[in-house]
Amino acid sequence: MPAENEKGGRQTEPMQTEEELSPQEYEHLLAQYENSFKNLQEGQIIRGRVLAITPSEVIVDIGYKSEGIISLAEFTDFSGNVTVHEGDAVDVLLERTEDQNGYVVLSKDKAEKMKVWDEVERSYRSGSTVRGRVIDRIKGGLAVDIGVKAFLPGSLVDVKPVKNLESLRGKELDFKVISVDKKRGNIVLSRKAVVEIEQEARKRETLQLLEEGRVLRGVVKNLTDYGAFVDLGGLDGLLHVTDMSWGRVNHPSDLVKVAEEIDVVVLKFDRETERVSLGTKQLTEDPWVHVPGKYPAGSRVAGRVTNVTDYGAFVELEEGVEGLVHVSEMSWSKKVKNPSKLVSPGDQVEAVVSDVNPDARRISLSLKDTLPDPWESVIQKYAIGSRVQGKVRNLTDFGAFVEIEEGVDGLVHVSDMSWTKRIKHPSEVLKKGDEVEAIITSIDEENRRISLSIKEFQPNDFQTFRDKHQPGDVVEGVVSRVADFGVFVQIEGLVEGLMHVSETAVPRGGKPQEQYREGEAVRVRILRIDEGEMKVGLSGLDDAGQALPAAQAAPAAGAEAPSAVESEAAVESEAAPQSEAAPQSEAAPQSEAVPEAAETVETAPASAEAAPATVETASGTAEGEDAAAAPKKKRTRKKTEDAPPKA
């Protein structure tokens, strides 16, 4: 055994000198030495031994005539720590057998890269995976360190698009080599291919477990407006929003989040299309099982408004149980057009259950039933003919609604606003907000309607006129309207009477517009006053059938006549045969036939302006505007040049 030195180490044996070697032994050793040099080739990976480590270099012995020197940086990790020690065996690349200083040029990094390239090529040919670490985000994808720098395209990062590639920086993952170009130093990787292989393996396992009614655990993969996709292990299932909860779900994000693990029930599974329908509400009992007994019709309930629509509001009584308050069930007194003005989502309300339909899963609720019905006391409080006071709440084309008390409205029709004045719109008499006094004319309890009248509190112009005049009186008036069948005349500002065309001096076939103009003063004779229907019949002829003298305030001759007015209100005109006309004197001038005299022409009521007139003649009755042209029995004198003078 070799002896130990003073320091405790082994003492080296003395080397034999050339004098001690025989010539044959020397030649043999020299041949071995030369052969060892011949086996070393530049570009070859050689295993060496670390002899020494200096502050900047590592000296490595590869069995050559001189040692190799490698930079210390090649043996330093990312933290700056030296990863080798003296005596360690390392693989290095022989770049050159000798540099200008006589040292062998070696490289550890290049040796490792050459080994990595060999492994990458083997992995590419075999289809196996390599492991690497994402080191940077570069244009079009990621840079990955697998021993050498490789490229991972963004489209091959995962089976689904990854929005934030930066989140993968620093992660160690498995990749598949899909392209290798050693000459150019290009390596292309795919993480997607590895994920697809892993998913396919998990999918086979999941398909063996899938069956309807089975409870599985999955991970929420994606959210949409209509539901959530859950990864069951290589296979995705749809958790529809209607199967998430027995209650109302506005959006799936209200109940689940992406990457959250949840338990689901397999509702339906189609092995051919591999479509899976999932549910979570089926994990709990259906609350509608107990609804009929818990919420009977007529019971009073409390709940929270969850949604407001144009036709009503939905109220949640408990999780999974909602009722609808229709717009017609919100108020006794108000005609609700917009439910959002009364309730809002989140409001706590009380209601009465009107109806329960378990089959349709519907509950009808009423808010107004929680309050007393004001119509229950209408019959006791009000009677026909009683006076009431109220406020004008709304105006329409046909009348005005007056609020007698909260929840009870009455209608004042336009025909009940004035005795004689023709009211075209209620705004001529009333305006919204006016306080008025009215008489109740009718009460319809079934249809919840009350009819009112305010004309009883106004002077009766017709009665005033009746007290002052009687049939046969000749009065003056103003033409208010002219129609094809006659002329309407306003008398003393009190009433309006009708002078039928047959009671004017207009020749047969002519039109009243040719002789009468609106605003023109005329003199007329009262034929009839009908108190029941408040009508006045007028005539522009005297008892003898001659035209009455013109009024003193007649407009200047030649004034332009107004346009024809549309057909007016329904009119009754009674035409009676006239007495024989007095014989004309021989000296009387030739004259046209005397127009037929009708007995009575009545005015139209204010509310029936467009109705045709009705005229009674000696031969019968003719209705409508054509009444003027209806055949009549009339007595006219024959036109002769030597007619006797008028008596």
CATH number for domain 127-195, candidates 2.130.10.10, 3.50.50.60, 3.40.50.720, 2.40.50.140: 2.40.50.140
What 3-state class would DSSP assign to 539? strand
The string of pLDDT tens digits covering residues 332-344 is 767 788 898 889 9
Q: Residue 19: pLDDT band by 50, 70, 90 thresholds?
A: low
**What b/e sequence results for 500-511 when a residue is b if at least 16 CB atoms lie within 10 Å of its CB, and e otherwise?**
bbbbbebeeeeb
- Predicted pLDDT at 208: 83
Torsion angle in degrees (nearest 10) through CA of 255, 258, 259, 262: 30
Task: List pLDDT tens digits, range 614-644.
Answer: 333 333 333 333 333 333 434 434 333 333 3
Contact 303, 316 (CB under 8 A): yes
Predicted confidence at residue 331, as pLDDT, reads 83
Fold of 36-111: OB fold (Dihydrolipoamide Acetyltransferase, E2P) (2.40.50)
CA nearest to 120, candidates 197, 180, 174, 191 = 180
Amino acid at residue number 40: L
For residue 211, the tally of other CB atoms under 10 A from its CB is 9
Report the chain's terminal Cα–Cα distance, integer Å. Answer: 187
Claim: this prediction has a pTM higher than 0.85: no
Cβ neighbours of residue 406 closer than 8 Å, sequence gap 6 or more = 333, 374
Distances from the Cα of 426 to the Cα of 59, 386, 438, 607, angstroms: 115, 22, 15, 12
Buried b (16+ CB within 10 A) or exposed e, 544-567: ebbebeebeeeeeeeeeeeeebeb
Mean pLDDT of 49-70: 81
Name residue 544's beta-bridge partners: none
Cβ–Cβ contacts within 10 Å for residue 289, how many?
Answer: 10
Identical fold for domains 127-195 and 287-370, yes or no, is: yes
Give the Cα-Cα-Cα angle 480, 482, 485 (nearest 5 degrees): 135
Residues 280, 245: contact at Cβ < 8 Å? Answer: yes
Number of H helices and E strands in the chain, helices first, is 6, 34
Indicate if the pLDDT at residue 596 is higher than 50.
no
* 446: helix, strand or coil: coil
Query: Please, what's the b/e burial string for 228-266 (b: 16 or more CB within 10 A of its CB; e: otherwise)?
Result: bbbbbbbbbbbbbbebbbbeebeebeebbeeeeebebbb
- The answer to whether 27 touches 21, Cβ cutoff 8 Å, is no
> Which of these, 151, 65, 73, lies nearest to 107 by C-alpha position?
73
Given a cut of 80, is residue 28 above it in pLDDT?
A: no
pLDDT of residue 618: 31
Residue 355 banded pLDDT, cuts 50, 70, 90:
very high
Query: In this predicted structure, which of 17-21, 303-307, 530-534 has the lowest mean pLDDT?
Result: 17-21
521 vs 561 pLDDT, higher one: 521
* 540: helix, strand or coil: coil
Query: Above 60 in pLDDT, residue 310?
Result: yes
597, 545 contact by CB (below 8 A)? yes
pLDDT class for 572, splitting at 50, 70, 90? very low
| CATH class of the region 374-457 | mainly beta
Q: Give the mean model confidence (pLDDT) for residues 284-291.
A: 86
The mean pLDDT of 447-474, rounded to a whole number, is 81
Q: Which of 114, 35, 107 is nearest to 71 (CA)?
A: 107
Tokens, residue 486? 């006659």
What residues does each domain of the chain span?
36-111, 127-195, 210-283, 287-370, 374-457, 461-629
Q: Which architecture does CATH list for 210-283?
A: Beta Barrel (2.40)
What is the spatial distance between Cα 569 and Cα 241, in angstroms, rounded to a whole number? 65
pLDDT value at 228 more than 90: yes
Tokens of 52: 């020494």
pLDDT at 363: 92
Architecture of domain 461-629: Beta Barrel (2.40)
Over residues 74-78, the mean pLDDT reads 77
Q: Is the pLDDT of residue 74 over 60?
A: yes
Report the chain's mean pLDDT, rounded to a whole number: 76
Structure token pair of residue 610: 């467009």
pLDDT band per the 50, 70, 90 thresholds, residue 152: very high
d(CA 219, CA 208): 18
Share of the chain above pLDDT 70, in %: 77
For 226, residues 6+ apart whose C-beta sits below 8 A from its C-beta are 240, 241, 252
pLDDT for the residue 553: 52
- Is residue 3 predicted with pLDDT exceeding 50? no
Average pLDDT over residues 276-296: 88
- Higher local confidence (pLDDT), 533 or 636: 533
pLDDT of residue 565: 32
pLDDT tens, 312-337?
999 988 888 889 999 988 887 677 88
Residue 17 in this model has a pLDDT that exceeds 90 = no
Q: Are 598 and 539 in contact (CB under 8 A)?
A: yes
- Average pLDDT of 428-447? 86
What does the pLDDT look like over 156-180, one tens digit per residue?
998 888 888 888 888 999 999 999 8
- β-strand partners of 158: none
Q: Which residues contact 276 (CB under 8 A, 6 or more apart)?
A: 210, 232, 235, 236, 237, 238, 266, 268, 269, 270
Measured CA distances, 75 to 54, 284, 321 (Å): 12, 63, 71
Q: Is 468 helix (H, G, I), strand (E, B) or coil?
A: helix
Identify the band that residue 575 occupies on the pLDDT scale cut at 50, 70 and 90: very low
Which amino acid is located at 123 in the chain? S
What pLDDT does residue 6 have? 44
Strand order in the sheet with 600-601: 600-601, 571-574, 613-617, 620-623
Q: How far apart are CA 55 and CA 71, in angstroms?
A: 10
pLDDT (mean) for 519-537: 85
Tell how far CA 533 is from the center of its chain: 55
Rounded to 5°, the CA angle 434-396-604 comes to 100
Q: Output the pLDDT for position 127.
A: 86
pLDDT on residue 511: 87
Instruction: Give the rounded percent of residues in the chain with a pLDDT score beyond 90.
Output: 16
Cα separation, 560 vs 311, in Å, equals 58
Please list the alpha-helical segments (H only) found in 178-281. Answer: 192-209
Q: Tell me which of 14 and 477 has the higher pLDDT.
A: 477
* Domain 287-370 fold: OB fold (Dihydrolipoamide Acetyltransferase, E2P) (2.40.50)
Question: Rounded CA gap, 317 and 301, in Å?
Answer: 7
Please say whether the beta carbons of 321 and 285 come within 8 A: no
Query: What is the pLDDT at residue 468?
Result: 83
Residues 365-378 have a mean pLDDT of 81
141 contacts: CB under 8 Å, gap ≥ 6: 151, 152, 153, 154, 155, 156, 157, 165
* Mean pLDDT of all residues in 444-467: 80
